Chain A
Amino acid sequence: MNVQIYSFIFAMWVLMLIGGGLVVVFIGPLTFAPDIEPTITSGVKVIFTLLLIFIWIFTLTKIKNWIFKSQIKS
C-alpha cells in the first residue's frame, strides 16, 4: 500500500479545508475605506487568493518531490 500517496491526498484535503477557511474568514469580508472603488477591493481579494493558491501549489510540489525521491530510494 502506498501510504505516502494516501498521505498526499490527505494533505491536499487538509490544505483545501484550511484554504477555504482563510478565504471565508479573512479574505471574503475584507473591506477598505468607503471611498475606495469596489473593483480595487475585489482586485486585492483576487491577489490574496492567488497568493494562497501559489503557496498551496508550492507546498504540494515539495511534497510530490519528496514522495517521488523517497519512492525511488526505497
Chain B
Amino acid sequence: MEEKIIAAIIVSAIAFFAIYAFTPILIKFLQKRNLMVKDVNKPGNVMIPRPGGISILIGIVASEITLYFFFPISEILAIIITSILGFSVGIVDDRKTMGGWFKPLALAFCAAPILLLGAYDSNLDFPLFGSVKIPSLYLALVVFMIPITGNTINSIDVLNGVASGVTTIASFALAISLFILQNYEIGLACLGLAFASLAFYKYHKFPSRIFPGDSGSVMFGATYGVIAIVGGVEVIAAIAILPAIINSFLFLSSVKKIVEHREIKNPTSHTDDFKLKSTDDNHAPITLVRLLIAKKPLSEKQICNEVLKLTTFSGVLAVITAFMMGVKI
C-alpha cells in the first residue's frame, strides 16, 4: 500500500506541475506564432492562443509513463498509446478542419492498442445485478467507446473552462470509484488525468488564457475512455460524464446526423450586454447550453458554473453506483 501512496503523490504532482509550468510557455509560443482564434463569446476582438493540447499531452504522458515504472502492466501501456493517438487525431483536426466522420472513424482506430495488448475484460459490470459476459459484443464496445468519449468531451468544449472542468470533475469521480472497487493501479492512472485536467483548467477557466483545441479535448476524452475500458468501469464512467453525454444526445437527436460541430447553425446568440440567449431559429440544434438558457439569458460564466454543477451531481451518482457494484440483489 505504501508504494501505491508514493506512486499516487508522484503521478499527481507530475501531471499537475508539468501542465502548470509548461502552459504559460506554450501560451507565449502560440502568441508569437499568431496561432490564435477569436473568442466568440467576448465583446470586441479577443484572440486566444490555441491549441493547448500539446501541454496536456506532456502532462498526461509524463505522469502515465512514471506510473508505468511503478506498475509495468499492459493496461497502463494501452492508456499511454491511446492518449497519444487521441492527441494525434485532434491535432490533425486543429490544423485542418476535417469532415464530420473523420474524428469518429480515426478515434475508432485509436482503440487498437487496447485490443492488441489485450488490456480489457469482456465482462460488462452493472450495479445491483452483477455482470454479463459478451466476448464478441465487447470488442465492438471497445471500438465504439473511444470515439464516443473523445467526441463527447470535444463537443462540450464550447465555453471557457467547460471541457477541462467537466474532465476534472468526472475523472476525480472515476478515480474515487476505481479506489472503491479496489482497482488501485488504474485508479492512479485516472488520478493522473484528473490532476492534468485540473492544472489545465487553471488557464482554461473563464476568462480563458488558452483553448485546448481539438487536440486537447479529444485527448481528454480518449484518455477517459481508455481508462474506463481497462479499469472495467464503463457504466460508471458513462454516468460521471452524463451532462456531456446529454449534450451529444441532444445534439444528435435534433440534427439527426453526424456533422462537424463547426458546420452547424449556432444554437445561441448574444444579448446587448453579451449574455447568451437561445436562438429563435427552429432549425438550430438543441444543446445542453441552449437548454440552460431557454428560460432566460445567462452570462458565459454562469453557464459554465451550471454545467460544472451538473457534472458534480453526475459525479456523485457515479460514486454511488460504484458503491452499488458491491451489492447484489
Residue ranges of A at the interface with B (Cβ–Cβ < 8 Å):
2, 5-6, 8-10, 12-13, 16-17, 20-21, 23-25, 27-28, 42, 46, 49, 57, 60-61, 64, 67-68, 71-72, 74
Residue ranges of B at the interface with A (Cβ–Cβ < 8 Å):
124, 126-134, 136-137, 235, 238-239, 242-243, 245-246, 249-250, 253, 278, 286, 288, 291-292, 294-295, 306, 310, 313-314, 317, 321, 329
Whether B317 and A9, one on each chain, are in contact in the complex, defined by CB atoms closer than 8 angstroms, is: yes
On chain B, the residues within 8 Å of A17 by CB distance are: 126-128, 321
Closest chain-A Cβ to B308's Cβ sits at a distance in Å of 13
Q: Bound state CA distance, A10 and B129, in angstroms?
A: 19
Contacts A28-B133, A67-B291: A9 and B126 contacting too (C-beta < 8 A)? no
Whether A9 and B127, one on each chain, are in contact in the complex, defined by CB atoms closer than 8 angstroms, is: no
Q: Bound state CA distance, A10 and B246, in angstroms?
A: 12
On chain B, the residues within 8 Å of A6 by CB distance are: 310, 313
Contacts A13-B239, A16-B235, A64-B253: A24 and B131 contacting too (C-beta < 8 A)? yes
A-B contact pairs, 8 of them (CB 8 A): A6-B310, A9-B310, A13-B242, A13-B314, A13-B317, A28-B132, A42-B136, A71-B291
> What number of A-B contacts does a CB cutoff of 8 Å give?
81
Whether B130 and A24, one on each chain, are in contact in the complex, defined by CB atoms closer than 8 angstroms, is: yes
On chain B, the residues within 8 Å of A21 by CB distance are: 126, 128-129, 329
Whether A72 and B314, one on each chain, are in contact in the complex, defined by CB atoms closer than 8 angstroms, is: no
Q: Bound state CA distance, A9 and B286, in angstroms?
A: 16
Whether B291 and A16, one on each chain, are in contact in the complex, defined by CB atoms closer than 8 angstroms, is: no
Whether B129 and A25, one on each chain, are in contact in the complex, defined by CB atoms closer than 8 angstroms, is: yes
Q: Bound state CA distance, A16 and B127, in angstroms?
A: 10
Whether B132 and A24, one on each chain, are in contact in the complex, defined by CB atoms closer than 8 angstroms, is: yes
Q: Bound state CA distance, A21 and B310, in angstroms?
A: 25
Q: Bound state CA distance, A9 and B312, in angstroms?
A: 11
Whether B131 and A61, one on each chain, are in contact in the complex, defined by CB atoms closer than 8 angstroms, is: no
Contacts A9-B246, A46-B137, A64-B291 aside, 5 further interface pairs with beta carbons under 8 A come to: A21-B329, A25-B129, A28-B134, A71-B295, A72-B295
Q: Which of B130, B250, B306, B313 contacts A9 (CB 8 A)?
A: B313
Whether A68 and B286, one on each chain, are in contact in the complex, defined by CB atoms closer than 8 angstroms, is: yes
Q: Bound state CA distance, A22 and B91, in angstroms?
A: 41
On chain A, the residues within 8 Å of B314 by CB distance are: 9, 13
Q: Which of A20, A49, A57 contacts B253 (CB 8 A)?
A: A57
